[in-house]
Structures are given as C-alpha cells and as structure tokens.
Structure 1
Amino acid sequence: MNDIISDIRQELQQNSNEETKSSSTRFFKEEIKSYGVKTAAVRKMTKNYFKKISDKSKPEIFALCEDLLSSDYMEESFIAFEWSYYLRDKYEPEDFTVFERWVGDYANNWAKCDTLCNHTIGSFIDIYPQYIESLKKWTVSDNRWYRRAAAVTLILPSRRGDFLEDVLDIADMLLTDEDDLVQKGYGWMLKEAGREHQQEIFDYVMKNKKTMPRTALRYAIEKFPKDLRAKSMEK
C-alpha cells in the first residue's frame, strides 16, 4: 500500500506549479506546505487513486489517510479527508475518535479544518447526531481549530435547517470568543442556519449583537434582506 502513497506524491510533484503555490499562501496567516497543484487536478487524483484502494478495509484506508496527513501538505490532506468522506456509508460510532484526533493532530489551518469538518465529520453527525454533545465540548478547547470545528461541522446540516437548537447552543458557547477564525466559523454556521430559519437567526442576532464580535455578526447577517441587515448593524 505504500506504493500508492509514493505514486501520489510523485504525481503531485510532477504537477506542481510555483505560481499556484505562491498564490495559495495568501489565503493563510500560517505558513503552509503546498505542492502548488490546482484543486481540480487534486480532486481528479483523489478519485482516481481511491478506485485503486476501494477494495481495502476501512482501517487500511484510514491508515493510508494517516500517512498522507502526516506529511502536512495541503494537497495530501485534501486527498486523505476526501477518502475518509467516501467511506461515509461505513461509518461506525467508534470512528468519531479517529476524526476527533485528526482535528487536533492535522487541522492546522482553516482549509484543512473546514474540509475535514464540512464533509467527513458533518456526515458522521448526520448519522450519529448524539455526537453533537462532543462538538459542544470542543467549544472550550484551548485549540482554536477544535473551537472552529464545533461550528463548521454543522454547516451543511444547518443549511438544510437541521439541528437549530444545537446551532444556537454552540453559537452561545462561542459568542465572545476572541479568535477571528472562530468568530468567522460560528458566524458562517448562523448564516447557513438562516437560510431555513431566518426569523430565529435574526432574533438571535438582535438579542446578542451588543456582545457578539462584529466579525461574527457580519458573517451571520450576510444573506439577510437589506432591511434586516441594517437593523442588525444598528448600534
């Protein structure tokens, strides 16, 4: 199976581009490791190589994901997180321990955090919603990525109108967080919840706008009609 990892890394090297590499760094405050391969090419590789390992067991595929993640390269992380998402029909409760550890060990910028949480962990929560209680525990972590993960894991469910009470609970827990990437994370979650629950999210914003950081507030109200946005922004 190590041959697969070697082949992936070789193909990434062959497709690396300095211009793509330098342009991708501007989206991050942290230093990132990147080959400089365009997203479309990485996505294609992800699917092609998964066909070669799809007959492997879930633990074997998770082990391959771990190998890719340990390199810290953006492209390898994307492949690993997408492979874990491809296995969503096989998720079991004990997989949460793996995904939770991946947040702590490998989600060291917003893109990795969001890719893992939006797809893999978000799909896991759809199947096992009782684990939302574990997300709530992340809100008090010293690790900013756990705190952001608590919110962005619920992006897709909240867009469908699901878990509103939990969305508001997590927003409460993160309300005065001083980290801008956590503020953006829970503001984004509220914005998505507002698609199906506009009045409830508007009411929440109005109730909390005096203590909610402006960054989170602006994200939360982005999709509101103009009149509701104006009311939300009033001092």
Structure 2
Amino acid sequence: MTNQTTSPRVVEVMNTLNALGNPVIAAHSQRYFKTGPGEYGEGDVFIGIRVPVTRTVVRQFKDLSTPEIVELAQSTVHEHRLSALLILTSQFTRAKTVQQRAELFEILLMLVSSGHVNNWDLVDSSAPYIGAYLLEMPDYSDLLLALAQSEDLWERRTAVMLTAALIRAGIYQPTLELCELLMTDTHDLIHKATGWMLRVVGDQDIAVLRGFLDTYSATMPRTMLRYAIEHLDKPERDHYLKQKSLLA
C-alpha cells in the first residue's frame, strides 16, 4: 500500500501500520464503514488494524511535525488518516499555548474541508477534543453555523461534535441550536450525532435535555430521539417515544 509522500518519518509511520494490516479485518471494515458504491464511505481503503493497535503505533510517533501530520492525513488509507488525527488530538491536549492550540484547530478544519476527514470515526476521534479551542475563541457562532449549513456531511457532523467540549464546560446552548437546525437533516449520521450530544447534555443537566425533548420529541427524527433518551429510565423513554408515535 503506497502513497505519494516525501517525508521519511511519514513513510516510517505508514510502513509500521501497513505491516500490522489484516485482510480479514480490512474486509469487515470496508463493510462496516460503508465503502461501497453510493454509500457514505464510498471508495475508502482499509488495511485492517484494530483501533487499540493503531493507538499503540500512534504513541511511537506522537511528536510528528504538523506538516508531517497533514501529509499522513492525506493518505488514501483510512488507518493512516486515523493515526494522523489521533496524533493531532494528542498534540492538542498537550499544547502549552493558545497559539499552538489555534494552529492545531485550524489544521483539523482544513483537513475536514479538504475531504480527508471523511468518515464518522475520523470526526469523532478528533473534533470532540480539539473542539476545546472554541472556549478560547472570542466568538465561535459563525464557524459552527457555517459548518452545520455545509452540503458536506462530514462538516455538518464536525459542527455537532465540536460542541462536546462546550458541553463539558457547561455551555449547552450552541449544541441545542445546532440540534434544532439539523432536525430536518436527511442523513442518519447527523441524527445519531445530534442525539448523542443531546444525551451528553442530559448527563450534565437533565433539566436542559427534558426542556428540549418537551418541545421537539414529537417532531425530531426518531434516531435522534432514541439516542437522546438512551440514559433516561424506561417510563420516561416511553413517554417521549409516545409523543413521537402520536404525531406519526
């Protein structure tokens, strides 16, 4: 498995990963991540490495330069790109200055917009953590709105997943606004992401989740609703599902 690359360090990462590939795992991943014609991961290439094994390799190369991370993230191989994003995330969490975190945040956005962060695991392994930079921005509303209104599925999912960091900080309104905005989105992966983040909001403040559900449970996509209510007790889950059923 080769890619056009010039950095010896990037070649070393790729070769290390390639040596760990498993054709059986690769075939399963191709199906699981929907890489067939017309599917959301169409054309993606897997070499077959479990995520814990990938993380072990990543620890060996955690200090790649940012140009090397970008180069690795531009590989055609999914596990190469995942490794790049895990390294990027690790460097973000270890960054000492706002300037360093800003640079890494911008690299993530660039990789998303250029189509190299193009499956849900790639978004979810990076955006919820690097999204902590939002807390250091004077205003992030326009950025989140632009991503959420994008025609690109992965930019929309990134918008939602970036807000995980805001939720951890007790800031819920941006997530709620995106969930309301994306309620009419037609893609199941957006329904899952918004429902997931609503559930996380509820884990932090159940009253906020209940307020959202009281307003929208009858009209929100069923997958979004099911994800959002997953941590509620059964009577309350049944109550909100009934609201949805009454409208159907």
Tell me the TM-score normalized by structure 1.
Answer: 0.87
Map of 1:192 onto structure 2: 200
Q: How does 1:213-232 map to 2 (within 5 A)?
A: 213-232=221-240
Tell me if structure 2 keeps the 8 A contact 1:222–1:229.
Answer: yes
The one of 18, 27, 32 equivalent to 1:13 is 18
Q: How does 1:147-158 map to 2 (within 5 A)?
A: 147-158=156-167
Matches of 2:106 and 2:155, distance apart in 1: 13
Tell me if structure 2 keeps the 8 A contact 1:34–1:74.
Answer: yes
Matches of 2:83 and 2:136, distance apart in 1: 22
Question: What count of residue pairs does the alignment treat as equivalent?
Answer: 225
Structure 2, unpaired ranges of 5+: 1-5, 35-40
* Cα displacement (A) at 1:38: 2.1
Q: For residue 223 of structure 1, give the secondary structure of its aligned residue in structure 2.
A: coil
Tell me if structure 1 keeps the 8 A contact 2:166–2:172.
Answer: no
Output the amino acid matched with 1:194.
G
Structure 1 moving runs of 4+ over 3 Å: 93-97, 126-129
Matches of 2:138 and 2:194, distance apart in 1: 19
Tell me if structure 2 keeps the 8 A contact 1:152–1:188.
Answer: no
Matches of 1:9 and 1:95, distance apart in 2: 21
Render the CA deviation track for 1:81-113: whole Å, top value 9, x for unaligned.
Answer: 122122222443455433222112212111112
Matches of 1:26 and 1:66, distance apart in 2: 27
Matches of 1:98 and 1:15, distance apart in 2: 27
Identity rate, percent: 24
The answer as to 2:186 corresponding to 1:144 is no
* Cα displacement (A) at 1:178: 1.1
Matches of 2:113 and 2:208, distance apart in 1: 32
Q: How does 1:22-33 map to 2 (within 5 A)?
A: 22-29=27-34, 30-31=41-42, 32-33=44-45
- Mean alpha-carbon deviation: is it higher for 23-32 or for 214-223? 23-32
Map of 2:143 onto structure 1: 134
Output the amino acid matched with 1:44.
T
Tell me if structure 2 keeps the 8 A contact 1:35–1:75.
Answer: yes
The answer as to 2:114 corresponding to 1:102 is no
Matches of 1:132 and 1:45, distance apart in 2: 36
* Cα displacement (A) at 1:131: 2.4
Map of 1:208 onto structure 2: 216
Tell me if structure 1 keeps the 8 A contact 2:160–2:194.
Answer: yes
Output the amino acid matched with 1:116.
S
Q: For residue 62 of structure 2, give the secondary structure of its aligned residue in structure 1.
A: helix
Structure 1, unpaired ranges of 5+: 54-60
* Cα displacement (A) at 1:18: 0.9
Residues 48, 97 of structure 1: CA spacing in aligned structure 2 closer, same or farther, 3 A cutoff? closer
Structure that is richer in helix per residue: 1
Matches of 1:38 and 1:46, distance apart in 2: 13
* Cα displacement (A) at 1:129: 6.6
Map of 1:57 onto structure 2: none
The one of 69, 72, 96 equivalent to 1:68 is 72
